Structure 1
Amino acid sequence: MDRHHHHHHHQALHAAALGCAVLVAVGGCTAENGTPGAEASAQVQGDDSTTASASAPASAASGGGAQGEAGQGQMSIPDIVEAVEPSVVTIFTDEGLGSGVIYAEDGLILTNEHVVRGNDNVEVAFADGQRVSGTVEATDTVSDLALVRADRSGLPAATFQEGLPRIGELAVVIGSPLGFENTATSGIISGLHREIPGSAATNQSLVDLIQTDAPISPGNSGGAVVNGRGEIIGISEAYIPPAAGAVALGFAIPSPTAVQVAEELREDGRAEHAFMGLAPGAITPAIAEQLDLGDISGVVVLSVSPGGPADDAGIRPGDILTSIEGEQLSAPENLLTALRQRSPGESVSVDLRRGNDTRTVDVELADRPPADR
């Protein structure tokens, strides 16, 4: 029920964010070949690499109708890898290595903060074998993202998807765990708004991730999770290896979050995070039953930072937040999105339920303390 609800809510979001995708479905966006929309341009990029064979353009053209119908424009996995591989780099530090994604053609590279932590200077290796020095330009421990400036320009910047992916969508993970060559694994998007198990209490950055069943090895961290159109849908974050009875879980920072943080870091070297001092969780059927909630939607407060804004406002673990500034909350994503639009120092009004009791509290947002990871 919960997933179903998210899914619909999400599709509405998706449609709004990617109006173009809707047009493709009715044969719109791709009709004017001169000016392909974002949807079409990623596909065109991918097709460029296949134009060597004479039949490719024809089949692409004839297949366009059917693909357009589904609003997808899927490329084959080898084509996706070929298209995106040049935009994925390996980052070497004194301690080890990770991956990164070319954010801007002038040498700006997006990676995980934990990949470069403790380093001012790194080495960046590109798909064509060239290795150059790079400097760590800005980091954000909260979202676990960092910008590295590589000493090289004219780079193939990756294309980032504007909205969130859909559950069940193809996911191809591209990184370079051995530092010698890019590796690719594939699977599907298996969940949205997930958190790395056990991270909520200690690390509030990792609470709104995309989950995929494509394996992500540690060296892939900071690399790309890509959709069937060759767009980045997430920055690889972590991988939980199959334990007894557990399935492979890969996590990624969603592309809208990654782009927003990257832009803030690029602007002035730091990302501001309006901080509420609580860890939000989705209301799962199990939680609803446990707290006897019936069919209430909202976000459950998993933990509250002592002395933080939520604590000061009297919010307690187990409270259900139902709206913020009048906007209904149906998933942790809604809360995080609402917070992203606000600045530290602002006050927001929050409606909450505690048992059968409903109340409205004002929370004065703070800037997230750097230590609060």
Structure 2
Amino acid sequence: MVWIYISESLLYLCFSLLMGSFILQFIPERLKPEISIPKRLIQLSVLGIIFFSAAPVIRIILFLYEDIGLMLTMQNVLGGFEVGKAWNVTVILALFFYLFVSLFPVLKSKVLAGISLAFTFILLLALGWASHAASLTEWSGFVVHSLHFLAVTVWVGILLIVGWCSKNQENWLSYLKWFTPLAIGCFLTIMGTGIFLMTLVIDVNEYGDAWMLPYGQALLLKHLTIIPVLFFAFINGFWIRRKLQRQEQINPIPWLRFESILLFFTFVSTAVLGQQEPPHSIEITLGGSGSSAVFDYFYSGIIDPSMHVQFGLNTISTMFFIVAIIFMWLILYSFRKKAPASISFFMGLFCILSLYFGLIASIQ
């Protein structure tokens, strides 16, 4: 199962790298730092979409092949399942895309970059077509999932390319002036579409009950990961800009890189989330599949399918919440004291863990 999580995470990374690379080709040089994007990175990202998007297909084949044989199972999955059909389209488009980016200077022409961006967007739609949300609704699930993923790849993609491919800090203030509102817009879009997608699977009122299941555990960790991301986004988007306006000496690139690493962790939690059984009925799912092993470890009571999770503050949960607040403060304090960005990064990770343990400890 771990290989599926890894492949899904890397798939999201490949889409983000492509999206960020081609969008930045339309930004004037005076509005961004000097950026050098290796063509090999583009080629590997396209190939990565082919290989990493195959993971759900392989998983279904491995689950079914013992009953009717490998070849017949492959034929049925690739021709009869929506995820198989979507992968067929993905492979064909991605092969054409790979030839295109290999034969033409896509990073030196806005026309070619625009065609490449169109290829990336169509491949993104193919991924949305194979999503669980698309299978639950006629069109809305497909549209909202695609919009959700588009907002993620635009935000994270630009962040990744600027953070890891910038040669210098020139024009950084000009870059922040357009990227900060874009990032805020992407984040609001992600929030709105994310809430809609979540309601397709679980009732919002049963959000806490879902924590008893692996799906709910992954959803909780995904949401908690956003908290330190917001702290880093505040530092990168506002605090660093104010320092640069005052002409203070600061290197924003490490802070941008660690923000992108935190965002990659959201990819990992999303990958785990996407491979869990969606609890359309928590009671039925709990009775059939059982509870999460992590929840079993922390919960000392008897788990009944019809039970509802109750919360209440106690000494242990309060201590964890206080520690989490301290780590939040340390993220900002480390930046203020000009500590390395890695210090704030680890404070962010400790903040996630403290909040998680505090919430789990508050379950009665």
The TM-score, its normalising length taken from structure 2, stands at 0.29
Which has a greater percent of helix?
2
More strand by share: 1
Q: Which has the higher contact order (CA 8 A, sep 6+)?
A: 2
